Amino acid sequence: MTDAERKLWQRLRAGRFSGYKFKRQVPIGAYIADFACISAKLIVEVDGGQHLKQLERDNLRTFHLEREGFQVLRVWSDDALVRTDEVLNMIWQKLNVPAAALSPALSRARERESAMEDAGQHDKVFMREALTLARQGNDAGEVPVGAVVVKDGAIIGRGFNQPIGAHDPTAHAEIMALREAAAQQGNYRLPGCTLYVTLEPCAMCVGAILHARIERVVFGAPDPKTGACGSVIDLTAVQKLNHHARFTGGMLAGECGELLKTFFAGRRK
């Protein structure tokens, strides 16, 4: 990292940008972005070279990144070093926040708010995906539970409950989704990933989630029969076991539970 990049990076991480989670050296398509805010789809490139050939390459790169839906803000090393505040204001503008209108305290509060709002919206979208998978299980005659694994806003694993069809007592939705995600990543650990599942995970699935180093789990309906996140036992609260994952329940719990209720009512007929 050059001095200019280090200076900019320190400022991006500090204070008023903290709600936007910039990342360093992020691979996007065939390129490595210098700094990227994935949620806002903004890339900040810091460039030293100004030769004609380099410019051509940079333009091509910008073109490809924009095709991936990113906004690209290109700043020269000298600018980032000498006019850091100006560069930060440019970034604010790209993020659509009028920097001058916000006091530091207010801007921090707003960042937190919008980050939480964003997270809530994203959670719902991904839980709906899990619900779609649960319905696939339902159509296959399985207890309707669905799960997805998400990394950096993209689904990398999907699964629905299928122990009957697969002749496999471990074929719960979470396990199926974890397997697909791990294969996709080429890694048996899945740091930085969130798992969404329509039903409270059982003891086996909580175990698998912890082994996989999943960062966050969002589940829908509680499971009074085998739920291991508080309903029957609470493995998530065992400090010696769980160093990694945060668990949140009740997301779209009505819809998730309704699907199960209808399934069991149909079977009793």
- Nearer to Zn ion by Cβ, of 20 and 219: the residue is 219
CB of 188 to Zn ion, least distance (A): 18
- The set of residues, in sequence order, having a beta carbon less than 8 Å from that of 230 and lying 6+ positions away, is 200, 222, 236, 237, 249
Applying the rule CB under 5 A, the residues between 151 and 180 that interact with Zn ion are 172
- The amino acid at 83: R
Euclidean distance between CA atoms 195 and 221, whole angstroms: 14
Euclidean distance between CA atoms 164 and 138, whole angstroms: 12
The CA–CA distances, whole Å, from 152 to 44, 94, 129, 135, 199 equal 17, 20, 16, 25, 23
> What track of x and - describes contact with Zn ion for positions 115 through 154 (by CB under 5 A)?
----------------------------------------
Kindly state whether residue 214 participates in binding Zn ion, applying the rule CB under 5 A: no
Binding-site member from 91, 202, 210, 260 for Zn ion (CB under 5 A)? 202
- The set of residues, in sequence order, having a beta carbon less than 8 Å from that of 185 and lying 6+ positions away, is 151, 156
Kindly state whether residue 205 participates in binding Zn ion, applying the rule CB under 5 A: yes
C-alpha closest to that of 143 among 255, 264, 231: 264
- Nearer to Zn ion by Cβ, of 44 and 134: the residue is 134
Kindly state whether residue 11 participates in binding Zn ion, applying the rule CB under 5 A: no
Catalytic-residue membership of 174? yes
Number of residues that bind Zn ion (CB under 5 A): 3
CB of 167 to Zn ion, least distance (A): 17
- Active-site residue, selected from the candidate residues 111, 142, 174, 200: 174
Cite the active site residues.
174
Binding positions for Zn ion, rule: CB under 5 A: 172, 202, 205
